A and B are shown apart, each in its own frame.
Chain A
Amino acid sequence: MTQPTAPPGPVKPLVITMLGTSLSGKTTYLLTMYGTLSLGVGRQSLVADPNQDYELGENWDRLSREGRLPPPTADEPHEYLFTFTHDLAPVAELDWTDFRGGAMDARVPDDDDSADTAQLIARLSRSDSIYLVLDGEHLAASPADDSLPATMLTRRMTSLVRHAIRRRQAAGQAPPSLVALITKADLLLQGMWEDAQIWRTMDATTQRVRTLLPVLSEAGVRALICPVSVGHLGDHPGGQVNPANINPLWPEKPVQFSVVAHLDAERDRRERERAAFGTEAGKLTVELARTRWLERRRRRALQTARQQALARQRSAEQASQACRRWADLLRPSLRHTPAYFGGEPGMGVEHG
């Protein structure tokens, strides 16, 4: 398949926000994802500005070469702007903010610690993709424990995401895509060597996650349940791991999914726009036909409005087609991942 020749048009930046408890692995995932994708995975890569690359690259080096896990995120959220590229073409801008784990669990405005909580909640409504970070260590330790929702704050996550979906719907926007990010997935699969056993465990984990986070199956929601891991790290006293064991698993998949889901949502929006402009142009054509030849000024105004509507219709159509082409180009990289659309397997469109 060849690269789309036309640029995808004005695709707005993809806002990504991660929700997760303290020490669930949000920052470690961010580092691993950036470290892997900045080197390049197949034809795709992530590009940051030199200063952000330096900061993230230093931390990734500390982890991958010295085995030092990143410290918990400070009170102030860290903001990053990445460009997701395919071949050498920019596909989408990623606006990514790393909040501290506690930000999700404070009351607004009662708690003293709630400054970033208000920021996080406001940002969720603007988010095109939300990562619900689930600590694989908890999932592995208690395979059938009722205390999991309390430990991983999945009810709080569900409530915050539903609130964000409602606010977006009120503003006429599509729901954000959701990624249930199962970090430390190596712990889930510890001691398993047979493929059948691994797949059984992953299937069971996927079902548990869908039960824990019912919002993943809501109508119109594009969701992915994705296990990720930095490597077989085992216990890490004092945040120190053996760098020889670092071997990332699927760090790029969530980002690829978010980009494809964003392009799909953008394509839907552009399709609606195209239809609306088409209807408007049709109405103007009828009205023009009804207007008498002598009403020259009115006819000219109608003709101008009709031409503008047709131009906007064409522009929306081009943008929609470009989004479709990009998404179809990227979609194959998501094969074999548990993606859902409105609770049904798949992404709501056929593979391109």
Chain B
Amino acid sequence: MRVVVVGHRGSGKTALVAQALDGVRALAGDRARMSPVDRWRLHRTTARLAAGRPIGATRTPRVASLALTAGDQASAGPGLSVTVHDHPGRAVGAGPTGLARRLETDLAQADGIFMVISQEDLMSARSRRLSRCRSLVVPVRRALLAARAGPAGPGGIQSVVIVVTRAGRRPAVGELAMLATPFDGLETSASAVIAGATVALDDDPAPPHAALPLLWCLDRWVSQAGGAVTAGWQATTSAWFRAAWDAAEDTGRYAWLPYRERRVP
């Protein structure tokens, strides 16, 4: 499964990726494997976050991979590969640069997308707020259209999660819905065919629900993939997702699901 993270500079993408991967590793235990380089990067970032130190800007696109093995649960079948593509903020709203093109390419091939935006941006003056949201919505919508028009027909991107970072305190459900109003157009138009959610993350260096966006995408992907992915994985990822959803309580605002699949998560 390929997840692409898109957001402005300083919105907290790298921290989100680290916290999300760390959260999945904690749930998966021995069944989660990472390369030494990815492990070292993850450790460095989470240590910095825990110490309250800045983690520095991402300058080039980075890919972190997580291999989930069946472990002793034979029913889970073959392993799963999760890759998270963290793009620098400069790629958003940029001109025809290599970074912007790479982001477009990655988005078109994604199974899930995180749109990361800080609460500060969502509470800024109307024009700035809409401009920040517009520059995130445009490439994502283009990717969704391209994925649906692709040779394989409707498919590709199955989930989009709007992650509101730097939420100073846990916003109530209604507050988060109001904050995310600029994304209503995308949500309304996309919810006919794909699933999404809006999740708020506060300043906690290791928020208990940080893995929720990644587990949401993973659960959706597993339930749609079929074939090689067996029912064993569906039960596992659903259980992980539910655990994270429960931990999120009211900070995971709501889920928008395709009309045909409306269900309470």
Stretch of A51-59, A266-274, A335-343 on the interface side: A51-59
Chain B contacts with A in 176-194, Cβ cutoff 8 A: 182, 184-186, 188-190, 192-194
**Residue interface bits B122-133, CB-to-A below 8 A is 1, else 0:** 000111101101
Indicate if the CB atoms of A64 and B127 lie closer than 8 Å.
yes
- Enumerate 29 A-B pairs (CB-CB under 8 Å) in ascending A order: A3-B192, A38-B138, A39-B134, A39-B138, A40-B186, A42-B185, A42-B189, A44-B189, A45-B185, A45-B189, A47-B141, A47-B145, A50-B96, A50-B139, A54-B96, A57-B93, A57-B135, A64-B130, A65-B127, A65-B128, A85-B141, A85-B189, A87-B189, A88-B141, A88-B145, A88-B148, A88-B189, A88-B190, A246-B126
**Interface flag for A244 (CB, 8 Å):** yes
**Interface flag for B44 (CB, 8 Å):** no
A-B contact count (CB 8 A): 94
**Interface flag for A102 (CB, 8 Å):** no
Closest chain A CB from B8 CB (angstroms)? 13
**Residue interface bits A239-261, CB-to-B below 8 A is 1, else 0:** 00001101100000000000000
Given the known interface contacts A65-B128, A246-B127, the answer about A43 and B188 at a Cβ–Cβ threshold of 8 Å is yes
> Measured between alpha carbons, how far is A247 from B126 in the docked complex, in Å?
9
Interface size on A, residues (CB 8 A): 31
Closest 5 CB pairs of A and B: A40-B185, A64-B127, A87-B192, A39-B134, A43-B189
Indicate if the CB atoms of A90 and B149 lie closer than 8 Å.
yes
Closest chain B CB from A236 CB (angstroms)? 16
Indicate if the CB atoms of A87 and B133 lie closer than 8 Å.
no
Closest chain B CB from A329 CB (angstroms)? 12
Set of chain B residues within 8 Å of A65, measured between Cβ atoms: 127-128, 131
Indicate if the CB atoms of A38 and B189 lie closer than 8 Å.
no
> Measured between alpha carbons, how far is A212 from B191 in the docked complex, in Å?
44
Nearest chain-A residue to B139 (Cβ)?
A50
Closest chain B CB from A240 CB (angstroms)? 14
> Measured between alpha carbons, how far is A343 from B143 in the docked complex, in Å?
42
Nearest chain-B residue to A55 (Cβ)?
B95
> Measured between alpha carbons, how far is A51 from B193 in the docked complex, in Å?
27
- Measured as residues with beta carbon below 8 angstroms from the partner, the interface class of chain B is 35 or more
Set of chain B residues within 8 Å of A61, measured between Cβ atoms: 131
**Interface flag for B137 (CB, 8 Å):** yes
Closest chain A CB from B127 CB (angstroms)? 4
Set of chain B residues within 8 Å of A8, measured between Cβ atoms: none
Indicate if the CB atoms of A54 and B95 lie closer than 8 Å.
yes
Indicate if the CB atoms of B95 and A40 lie closer than 8 Å.
no
> Measured between alpha carbons, how far is A45 from B190 in the docked complex, in Å?
11
Indicate if the CB atoms of A83 and B145 lie closer than 8 Å.
yes
**Interface flag for A41 (CB, 8 Å):** yes
Closest chain B CB from A209 CB (angstroms)? 30
Indicate if the CB atoms of B193 and A87 lie closer than 8 Å.
yes
Set of chain A residues within 8 Å of B184, measured between Cβ atoms: 40
Set of chain A residues within 8 Å of B182, measured between Cβ atoms: 39
Indicate if the CB atoms of A40 and B130 lie closer than 8 Å.
no
Indicate if the CB atoms of B130 and A39 lie closer than 8 Å.
yes
Chain B contacts with A in 133-168, Cβ cutoff 8 A: 133-135, 137-139, 141-142, 144-145, 148-149
**Interface flag for B210 (CB, 8 Å):** no
Indicate if the CB atoms of B131 and A40 lie closer than 8 Å.
no
**Interface flag for B94 (CB, 8 Å):** yes
Indicate if the CB atoms of B96 and A85 lie closer than 8 Å.
no
Indicate if the CB atoms of A35 and B134 lie closer than 8 Å.
yes
Given the known interface contacts A86-B189, A88-B148, the answer about A53 and B131 at a Cβ–Cβ threshold of 8 Å is no
**Interface flag for B250 (CB, 8 Å):** no
Q: Which of A51, A57, A243 contacts B138 (CB 8 A)?
A: A57
> Measured between alpha carbons, how far is A40 from B125 in the docked complex, in Å?
19
Indicate if the CB atoms of A88 and B185 lie closer than 8 Å.
no
> Measured between alpha carbons, how far is A330 from B135 in the docked complex, in Å?
26
Set of chain B residues within 8 Å of A54, measured between Cβ atoms: 93-96, 100
Indicate if the CB atoms of B134 and A243 lie closer than 8 Å.
no
**Interface flag for B246 (CB, 8 Å):** no
Closest chain B CB from A47 CB (angstroms)? 6
**Interface flag for B104 (CB, 8 Å):** yes
> Measured between alpha carbons, how far is A47 from B138 in the docked complex, in Å?
7
Set of chain A residues within 8 Å of B126, measured between Cβ atoms: 244, 246-247
Set of chain B residues within 8 Å of A57, measured between Cβ atoms: 93, 134-135, 138
In this complex, the member of B104, B137, B188 whose beta carbon has the largest number of chain A beta carbons within 10 angstroms is B188
Set of chain A residues within 8 Å of B100, measured between Cβ atoms: 50, 54
| Interface contacts beyond A85-B141, A247-B126: sample of 19 additional A-B pairs, CB < 8 Å, sorted by A | A3-B192, A35-B130, A39-B134, A39-B137, A40-B185, A42-B189, A43-B192, A44-B185, A44-B189, A45-B185, A47-B138, A47-B145, A50-B96, A50-B139, A65-B128, A65-B131, A88-B144, A88-B189, A244-B126
Set of chain A residues within 8 Å of B144, measured between Cβ atoms: 88
Indicate if the CB atoms of B127 and A40 lie closer than 8 Å.
no
> Measured between alpha carbons, how far is A65 from B144 in the docked complex, in Å?
28
**Residue interface bits B65-108, CB-to-A below 8 A is 1, else 0:** 00000000000000000000000000001111000110010000
> Measured between alpha carbons, how far is A51 from B186 in the docked complex, in Å?
21
In this complex, the member of B130, B137, B139, B148 whose beta carbon has the largest number of chain A beta carbons within 10 angstroms is B130
Indicate if the CB atoms of A85 and B145 lie closer than 8 Å.
yes
> Measured between alpha carbons, how far is A42 from B192 in the docked complex, in Å?
12
Set of chain B residues within 8 Å of A42, measured between Cβ atoms: 185, 188-189
